[in-house]
Structure 1
Amino acid sequence: MASRNAFFQLLFIFFLCYRIQILEVAGVNSSSASCIKMEREALLKFKEYLIDPFDRLSSWVGKDCCNWAGVACDNHTGNVYELDLGTIYNCSWTQGSSTSPYWYCKLGGTLNPSLLNLTYLKYLDLSENNFLGISIPSFLGSLKKLEYLNLRWSNFSGMVPPHLGNLSNLIYLDLNNEFAYPNYLWVSDLNWLFCLSSMKYLGLRDVNLSKVTTNWLEAVNMLPSLLQLAMSSCELSSLLQTFPFVNFTSLVALDLSYNRFNSPVPQWLFNISTLKALKIRDTYATGPIPKVLSGNLCKLRMLDMSFNSIEGLLPKSIGNLSRLEVIDLSFNMMSGFIPGSMGQLRELFKHGLYGNSNFQGAITETHLQNLTKLLFLSISSVNKSLAFSLRQDWIPPFSLYEIAIRDCQVGPDFPAWLRTQKRIMEIALSNVDIFGNIPNWIWTLSPYMFWLDISHNQLRGKLVDSIRLPFSIAAWIDLGFNNLEGSVPLWLNVTNLSLRNNLFYGPIPSNIGHEMSELQNLDLSRNHLNDSIPPSINNIRDLRFLDLSSNYLSGTIPKQWNGLKNLMTVDLSKNNLSGSILGSLCSLRILYWLKLSGNNLSGELSTFLGHCNVLFELDLRENGFSGTIPQAILADPEYIYLLNLRANKLTGTIPEQICNLENLHILDLAHNNLSGPIPPCLGGLIRLKYLRNNFIPSRPTTKEVIFCEHTELVIKGRKTEYTKIILLVNTIDLSGNSLVGEILDEITNLSALGSLNLSWNQLTGKIPENIGSLQRLEALDLSHNHLSGPLPPSISSMTLLNHLNLSYNNLSGQIPSSHQLQTIVDPSIYEGNPRLCGPPLLNNCSTSTNGNGVSKGKVDEDESSQTLWIYISAALGFVVGFWAVFGTLVVKKSVRHAYFKYLDEISDKTAMQIAVNVARFKRKMGVESIQTQL
């Protein structure tokens, strides 16, 4: 916040100087020069097309337009030279209702080209209005004398007209487009900047420059007079590492934050000697900080490189930046010792090194001794590798507003020097090894204090009850994760109280709703509280967050909730609550998170969930709810992202309306009595179907919200509590039901799915061939079903898979071999499938499997059976043929006589033929014998 303020202070000084310059040239309004008729008519025409709900332009009547609100004229010629309709300077809150919303004061409508008749117009401010996504009109590029154009935060959209490049006199151009979602401005190229050589301020924050590529730097380099450049959140993806000819040598402030450069911070940025403010926050910057930071950056006052991947050591030369007022290197990957030269930065008022994981060594008096102007100090490490080694009698030279020290060694005692900080507003000493009781002086340290976080320590003892803390404003207090005990205190002027994970016992005070009526957030979870939930909670009108989970609360849920109009989160999980839930709980219009898991609640869901149609998260697991899944909670597809009804007594089928929940990414209906098939439309769940690469979870700040999201899920066979990464978890669990039918191919469309559990059902058919399309899947459990057939080869392409269970099905064939499956060596994940073979099973396939997933050993067995049947068939054929002939001879006499007569004839002919052949042989042999003798 301090760095942002410093940047805007420079901007305000520039703006103020420019306004003074304009007034000096034009003079002040005077009745001696009246409004020119043509220009008055042009203004009235312009007003005609505007929407003015707050009647800001009510003074635009009469002939003297020089006295109209927002209009300034030259006191010599009467020409209009300034039109200032910016909301921030012209919206008087003394008019109308005091409850009028800020947006009600904004102008809207369209911009009429009648402005072109204001030929001497130099100054045009339409900032902070609401033009509802219309395009910036190209005619603005024809206002030739224009020097100042401010369209900031006015909800324009579309392409920025290149006609603005015709404004050769332009000095100030602000197109910052923050807060305009879903409308946005974009630029295809910046060549039109080449003609704006007089430009001193260029603001393009939140203007999409993704199509410009590296041309943006070349275009900006053609502005030699440029003093301030604001190009944060512009979708820039490249930052040249070498840029030998830097032409903007007058640059004072440069903001390139919230882009995605994914590259080291180039050296040439540190060579711009005129720089006073350099912001490259959250740009995915890598690499080290240059070792030499002095010399060229001698004028630097603000350096913000936070939320990047900057690594390496903090250079000793940092101490040479003698004018430095703000240094913010939070949330990087810096390591090593913090140089003592930091103590030489006498002008420093913000010291931000929070969130660097590898700082080590000690912070001593040397690091802090000369920081007389220091107001903000934030620092942390990992594994407490950084220690504060300060003398007990040390008196600091500064008077802090805010201190945030986390994950460092500070204890075992509270730092004594902290008692000197009489202007302190915020204290965070979390996980710093402080032991013992909370000292009494901490409660009266400063009347300005409103934030106290001493969580994650070893504090013990009881808290003072029923007092009004001497804080000037309502306080945030986080004492979670300690060993504090006793009853819950009643502190009258506390708005946010976290006593999470301590040893508090007894009932919640019955009068808590009367004594702590200013509460907005209350977290008493993970203690030993008992008895019932006091009905007086309904009197805390501004309560937004209520977490009473993991206690021993009993009885029923209170009947009255209608007084809590702002309640967004209710977490009563893991208690001993019983009975049903009344519909009044769901009558809360902005109830987004409802968690009642792990109780003894019962009844049909449809009786109380009828009005819960704006929920983000519904967790009712491990209760006794019955009936069907009510369609009422599925009526509005825009909201719910987590639906957990695990371990209840629900019946019926899975309603197809569940597929309309476009943000659903956590679905757990396991261990109920659901039946029927898996709806094919589940494959169309948008949040699970498309990888959202542009999704970036919010990052923590030095003042982390003490009431964080936490959800317990069963994934990979074990319960795990998820907190900050819950929005990155994508899972479907339908196990332990009576679902039938096949696993349809549509389920393989869920390419963002991380865990799928369909075990313990009655599913049949094959595993989908395209199961490998689930490239993000880490856990797959299809065990205890009736699945059959071979394992699809695509399963081996699931490179992230690390938890697999296919046991107790009818699967067959060889287990596919792949690098990923070879890392899962537990054979039990395949047991109960006797026809599976191959590693890691001992039942190795003899060779490779055939195309049907059957081993060759099985094929040989089948071939042997076929040979046996051939022999049997031949024998049967012989028997049948023999009896066909022999049976006929026995039964038919005429056939028998003819047959035997035929045999006799054959026999006689055969005998005669043999006798003739023998005689011939003998005669031949006798002749040969005579010849031999001769």
Structure 2
Amino acid sequence: ILMAKADMDTLQLACIQVAIALLLLTQAKSTTEDTSALHPNGTITSCIAGERSALLAFRAGLSDPGNILSSWKGDDCCRWKGVYCSNRTGHVVKLDLGGPDHYGGCDEGRQMLAGNISSSLLGLQHLRYLDLHCNGFDKIQIPEFIGSLHQLRYLDLSSLLFIGKIPPQLGNLSNLQYLNLDNSYICPFCTYSKDITWLSRLTSLEQLDMTYVNLSTIVHWVPVVNMLPTLKVLRLPFCELGSSPDSLLLSNLTSLETLDLSENNFHKSSRPNWFWDVSSLKHLNISANDFYGLFPDEIGNMTSIVELGLSNNNFVGMIPSSMKNLCNLELLGFPFNNINGSIQELFNRLPSCSQNKLQWLDASNCSLTGSLPTTPVDSIINLSHLQLRNNRLGGHVPVWLGELTNLAMLDLSSNNLDGVMHEGHFSRLEKLYTLDLSDNSIAITVSPTWVPPFSLREIYLRSCQLGPKFPVWLRWQKQVRALDISNTSINDMVPDWLWFAASSAGFLNLRDNQIKGVLPSTMEFMHAQEMDFSSNQLGGPIPKLPLNLIGLDLSRNNIVGPLPSDFGAPWLETLVLYDNMISGGIPSSLCKLRSLQLLDLSGNNLNGSITDCVVNESGTDMTSLSIINLSFRNNSLSGEFPSLLQKCPQLIFLDLGLNQFSGALPAWIGEKLLSLSFLRLRSNMFYGHIPVKLTKLVNLQYLDLAYNNISGSIPRSIGNCTGMRQARGNSDNLRYALNTFFQLGENKLVDYTENLTVLMKGQERLYTGEIIYMVNLDLSCNSLTGEIPEEISTLIELKNLNLSWNSFNGKIPENVGALMQVESLDLSHNDLSGEIPSSLSALTSLSRLNLSYNNLKGKIPAGNQLQTLEDPTSIYIGNPGLCGPPLSQNCSSKPEQIPGEYHGVAIDDVVSFFLALGSGFVMGLWVVFCTFLFKRRWRAAWYSLCDSLYDWVYVQVAVTWTSLRGKNNG
């Protein structure tokens, strides 16, 4: 029995040992198979024939302009690029054809696979890993058959320009651990799902990314997600989710570590919300969701949190004191909320436990007040990024900031900080690479011999006090990528070392100083992409520009000489040179700038005609240019309307005013320039009629032909100009033309619109951003005739209508009162007649009216805005037929006769009256004369009476005179 028992124990032990060995062998095989999937070119000499055929059929449906699959040849498919086989079985287990990422997106410079995703992939039934992201499968749906690849554990279909419905068949992939359907690259919201219950079947899923997938119709999405107990990462930003439950009765999300719900539209109170109760979270991003109310105290319970993003909501009040419990917190960002409290109190509520792990703090745009603490704060002592821009902070910058030895970014811009910063503020900031102190009243005063401890890459000191001399410490910054020292009171010659120190900068802004000197001849070797040297005193000619330059602003300087024959910047998009002394003609080299979108040469000494770009360097006819915004205003350019503009079909803004252009306006303006929104041709010598085809420009909202010699009448089709008729969206066109240039992040390099002026309300007005909303029709000072068409009254978005100094006749359109947006209306110096329409009193926006020097008559309308206009009598002067307030001439029941007109009496009766009057006068005179001629006695008596009267008058005068003299002498 004892022996039998011993044998049994031995047998059991043996069985246990065998079981353990089998388990270890299974794990080893599994590990080998999984590991082999990470390494191509395994030991198998040839892959399985059926799978090779499936791969070849898959390739046949693709286009491969970059020869990415050039290695797909031969029998051994396991050695093909992107194909991975199991060392144990030879089956294809991994297909990795994803494109490389580039700064968080796809590398657009890389040629990608395109075409169709063939169902031949079903021949790879052992496939565990499929990555096709960042390719060009343009505008196809996600294939349903992918749901039949049951062994898949990893599926990445992101950034593939898919469209349409997400197939619910993906729910069949019960082994799936990673699913990425991110559709943010180029085509956001092109995919959608109206029912995501299929997700609940992916019980092994650990990571899910559905960024930019439209889920707007789904209400109960959280319960579905709650059925995924292994989920660790959930990314649902930009999904248009409109609802979120307050809580979960039973949360299965005990493994969830990363939750990104940013950029949705929850629009609800900040608490309660189900995610505050997920204690396992390490990364939470709920930015830009319109959450409102106080910062929730529940934040303090999320003790595992490492990164917390709360930006762009409507949280109010101070952050909760419970936030001091977040001892693992490394990144905290809540910009664009309304804390409206003290910066010192904010610092006191930050966690300072566990060796001060907090590294990143962004509290920008939060209405923070007060001064920065004068002594160091433990909670931020290890910060690497501190961003407090655009608050209401005042006082001096404390010296202890210079002791934050880990600080890499310091952004205090757009506050009310003042005082002096010196060497002590920067003494230990060896890791600092971004310094932004812009838009404060800070003076940086350091010794000319000071050598900074840091090597900055980004320097933004706009509107600080650096001058009058160039800050010498900048010469030691050899790795600068962005430099903004605009409006810093520098009044100095530009030093040679500046061009060397800034040679690596991609962004360079020196505007609004008094910098003297010339641009360097070595400028072409700089790496800049955007440069702004405007409003200085730089002289000399324009040198050859840097190869990579995209935008250049040299306006308001003393640049002389002709434009260069070779600009040297083939990708130049923006060239602003107004208000200089550039002379000569427009060179043909401008035609080589095929990417040029904004060109402003106004206010120079340019002359001659603008020639067309007939051929390019290869001798072929040029098709089109990319120009959107073009201004040659205020030069001495001549010739006819430039035919070059026919090659600018994208043109939105065109200003040729104040030149010497002549000839008739071509009809092709309305056919070739269909995007035109702004057309200013004032003060030239154009003649002829207004082309009817000009009214085909439906986007036109600004038309200025004043001070030319345009004749004929206004086309009745003027009502077709939708841009003057509809309140919308044409401003978007003009906004794009004026405001899309010179941007780098949140730093706007130049406000180009500051160069735009409009003659309105009788004076030249400078417009900035609001020019995009200006709707203007100015045809003044021409030779236009005929009646003002009634269709003018349909242009109800007009803000300025000026038809003065022409020869219009007839009546003012009866429906002029429909122009409810008009602020300035000038119809003076014409031949308009009839009464002023009563509807004129309905113009509630009107602030300037001029109807002077016409032939208007009758009573002036009263009421509303007409009673508030300045100098009311001058509005109606030169119209003697008008009466009633504000004129002194009263209106009677019988209208006062106007010279040259006869009211109530026929012209024949008047003539007869004057003939009779003249005849009677002659006859009466001859009766007296003939009586004296033939009656001598009567004649003698008449002369005797005259002599007696003469003698009597003489005596009376003499006696009176003598009497008066006697009194005076006495």
Q: TM-score, normalised by structure 1?
A: 0.74
Is the alpha carbon distance of 1:77 and 1:528 closer, same or farther for their aligned partners in structure 2, counting shifts above 3 Å?
A: closer
Cα-to-partner distance string for 1:380-432 (whole Å, 9 max, x where unaligned): 226xx222554554443223212122111222636889841441122221111
Higher alpha-carbon deviation: 218-227 or 109-118? 218-227
1:277 aligns with 2:307: yes
Task: Give distance in 2, aligned partners of 1:74 and 1:690.
Answer: 65
What whole-Å deviation, never above 9, does each CA across 1:753-786 have from its counterpart, x for those lacking one? 6555455552755546486576xx3634243263
1:547 equivalent in alignment to 2:579: no
| Correspondence for 1:629 | 665
Number of residue pairs matched?
A: 808
C-alpha contact (below 8 Å) 1:678/1:739 kept by paired residues: no
Structure 2 equivalent of residue 403 of structure 1 = 435
Greater alpha carbon shift after TM alignment, 21-30 vs 60-69: 21-30
Asked if the contact 1:715/1:755 (under 8 Å) is kept, the reply is no
Aligned pair partner of 2:480 in 419, 429, 449: 449
The residue that corresponds to 2:651 in the other structure is 615
- Which residue of structure 1 aligns with residue 351 of structure 2? 320
Alpha-carbon distance change, 574 to 763 in structure 1, aligned in 2, over 3 angstroms: farther
Distance 2:297 2:649 in 1: 55
Residues 394 and 77 of structure 1, relative CA distance in 2, 3 Å threshold: same
**2: CA distance between counterparts of 1:589 and 1:701?**
27
1:713 matched to 2:757? yes
- Distance in 2, matches of 1:685 and 1:139, equals 49
- Counterpart residue number, 2:396: 362
Separation of aligned partners in 2, 1:454 and 1:83 = 51
2:65–2:111: 8 Å Cα contact kept in structure 1? yes
Alpha-carbon distance change, 88 to 465 in structure 1, aligned in 2, over 3 angstroms: closer
- CA offset at residue 481 of structure 1? 0.8
1:440 maps to which residue? 472
Distance 1:701-1:445 versus aligned 2 partners, 3 A rule: same
Distance, in Å, in 1 between the alignment partners of 2:350 and 2:295 is: 21
Q: CA deviation at 1:129?
A: 0.9
What letter corresponds to residue 54 of structure 2 in structure 1?
A: A
Q: Which residue of the partner structure matches residue 376 of structure 1?
A: 409
Q: Which residue of 2 aligns with 1:576?
A: 605
Q: Which blocks of at least 5 consecutive residues in structure 2 are unaligned?
A: 1-29, 241-263, 616-621, 898-903, 906-970
1:523 aligns with 2:523: no
Which piece of structure 1 moves more, 667-676 or 455-464?
Answer: 667-676
In the aligned structure 2, how far is the partner of 1:687 from the partner of 1:20?
A: 72
Once the two structures are superposed, the pairs formed by residues 647-796 of structure 1 within 5 Å of their partners are 647-661=683-697, 663-675=699-711, 676-680=713-717, 682-685=719-722, 689=726, 691-692=728-729, 701-706=745-750, 708=752, 710-714=754-758, 716-717=760-761, 718-723=763-768, 727-739=772-784, 755-761=800-806, 762=808, 765-767=811-813, 769=815, 772=818, 777=821, 779-784=823-828, 786=832, 796=842
- Greater mean alpha carbon deviation, residues 807-816 or residues 398-407: 807-816
CA deviations on 1:473-517 (whole Å, 9 max, x unpaired) are 256432211122344554544445433212345xx24xx535977
2:328 pairs with 1:299 = yes
- What is the SS of the residue equivalent to 2:516? strand
Q: 1:490 to 1:27 in 2, by over 3 A?
A: closer
Counterpart amino acid of 1:572?
L
**Distance in structure 2 (CA, Å) of the matches to 1:788 and 1:163:** 77
Equivalence for 1:462: 493
Matched with 2:246 is none
Distance 1:160 1:694 in 2: 37
For residues 413 and 396 of structure 1, do their structure 2 counterparts lie closer, same or farther at Cα, with a shift above 3 Å needed? closer
Q: What's the counterpart of residue 603 of structure 1? A: 639
Q: Greater CA deviation, 477-486 or 113-122? A: 113-122
Deviations along 1:206-226, one digit per CA (max 9) or x if unpaired, are 3344444x6556655665554
User: Alpha-carbon deviation of 1:263?
Assistant: 4.8
Q: Against the structure 1 CA distance between its residues 524 and 358, is the aligned structure 2 distance closer, same or farther, given a 3 Å change threshold?
A: same
2:562 counterpart of 1:533: yes
Q: Does 1:108 align with 2:143?
A: no
Matches within 5 A, 1:97-246: 102=108, 105-181=111-187, 184-188=190-194, 190-196=196-202, 198-212=204-218, 225-235=230-240, 236-241=264-269, 242-246=271-275
Alignment partners' CA distance in 2, 1:390 and 1:57: 59
Partner of 2:386: 351
After TM superposition, the structure 1 stretch with the greater mean CA deviation from structure 2, 827-836 or 40-49, is 827-836
Query: Do the aligned partners of 2:489 and 2:513 also contact (CA within 8 Å) in 1?
Result: yes
1:359 aligned partner, one-letter code: L
Amino acid at match of 2:65: P
Note closer, same or farther for the CA distance 1:463–1:694 as it changes in structure 2 (3 Å cut).
closer
Distance 1:112 1:467, change over 3 A: closer
Counterpart among 807, 823, 840 of residue 851 in structure 2: 807
Question: Do the aligned residues in 2 keep the contact of 1:796 with 1:816 (CA within 8 Å)?
Answer: no
Task: Give the gaps of 5 or more residues in structure 1.
Answer: 1-18, 91-100, 847-854, 863-867, 870-934
Q: Partner amino acid for 2:410?
A: L
Alignment of 1:250-269 (within 5 A): 250-255=280-285, 261=290, 263=292, 267=296
Per-residue deviation, 1:372: 1.9
Change (3 A) 1:730 1:370: farther
Shift, 1:714, TM fit: 0.5
Query: How far apart are the structure 2 equivalents of 1:828 and 1:161?
Result: 75
Q: Output the aligned Cα RMSD.
A: 4.6
Describe the superposition over 1:223-265 as per-residue Cα deviations: whole angstroms up to 9, x where unpaired.
55544444444453324323443365544444555x6738568
Amino acid at match of 1:428: Y
1: distance between equivalents of 2:217 and 2:814? 41
Given residue 72 of structure 1, which amino acid in structure 2 is its aligned partner? Y
1:476–1:145 distance in 2 versus 1, CA, 3 Å:
same
SS at match of 1:348: coil
Q: Would you say the 8 A contact 1:304–1:327 is kept in 2?
A: yes
> 1:106 deviation in Å?
1.0
Query: Does structure 2 conserve the Cα–Cα contact (< 8 Å) formed by 1:303 and 1:328?
Result: yes
1:667 is aligned with what amino acid?
Answer: L
8 A contact 1:301–1:324 mirrored in 2 = yes
| Closer, same or farther: CA 75–560 of 1 in aligned 2, 3 Å | closer
Secondary structure of 1:459 counterpart: coil
Counterpart code for 1:325: Q
- Go from structure 1 to structure 2 and tell me whether the alpha carbon gap of 1:65 and 1:704 turns closer, same or farther (over 3 Å shift): same
- The SS at the match of 1:525 is coil
1:173 partner SS: strand
CA distance in 1, matches of 2:130, 2:459: 45
Retained in 1: the 8 A contact 2:714–2:789?
no
Asked whether the equivalents of residues 260 and 284 of structure 1 are also in contact (C-alpha less than 8 Å), the reply is yes
CA distance in 1, matches of 2:768, 2:896: 57
TM-score by length of 2: 0.71
